[in-house]
Chain A
Amino acid sequence: AQSVTQPDIHITVSEGASLELRCNYSYGATPYLFWYVQSPGQGLQLLLKYFSGDTLVQGIKGFEAEFKRSQSSFNLRKPSVHWSDAAEYFCAVGREYGNKLVFGAGTILRVKS
């Protein structure tokens, strides 16, 4: 069965600093991987997704993520964080057939000025 682990429940970074959010997955085959963001009181919005090809994926809002098969990881990065990036971030894994996504527990990002 698929599973996703986000080791950090909360992360606080200063505005302008770099950011890395960790995600580890468990899945026997090639995973389809996703990062979503949830702003307070809002639904989730897709940031980026990976299913094949270049292991460095670019997304919206200046985010990127790198798939590392050897580490079963798909960490999300941003070189310079803005106050508006404060939100909760979810990593998710899906499989080739079907529509089902399994989400991690989420990481809450706080940005301090």
Chain B
Amino acid sequence: DAGVIQSPRHEVTEMGQEVTLRCKPISGHNSLFWYRQTMMRGLELLIYFNNNVPIDDSGMPEDRFSAKMPNASFSTLKIQPSEPRDSAVYFCASSLPGQGVLDTQYFGPGTRLTVL
């Protein structure tokens, strides 16, 4: 299997622009997670989906952030408008169904976002 696929790998944008990050989970995985990693705050869970339904979005920092999972093989994380403090590495992860948190999460390579 190709693993979790994220695109783009790097994104540089200007403040105020809309940014869309994309994720394709491993086929057959029904849980999908979006994380943000920064030096200051470490690795934070933003939102996770089970069977395409958002379960916990308490980590989404504010209304500028939104995430969707229109089908089992695709998810997006959108930031509109973007701000310099959104600069971070954004990871997508997926896991098999069955054991909740015990299911191994498989991480993608991440998208490094820089907002100027």
Query: Hey, which bits of chain A sit against chain B, CB under 8 A?
Result: 32, 41-46, 49, 51, 90, 94-106
Contact = CB atoms under 8 A, between A and B. Distances in A.
Main secondary structure of the interface of A (DSSP, over half): loop
Interface residues of B, number: 25
Interface string B70-110: 00000000000000000000010101000011111111111
Interface of B: 4, 31, 33, 42-45, 48, 50, 55-56, 91, 93, 95, 100-110
B113 to A, nearest CB: 15
A106 B50 contact: no
A100 B4 contact: no
A95 B102 CA distance: 9
A106 B43 contact: yes
A27 to B, nearest CB: 12
A45 B106 CA distance: 7
A37 to B, nearest CB: 11
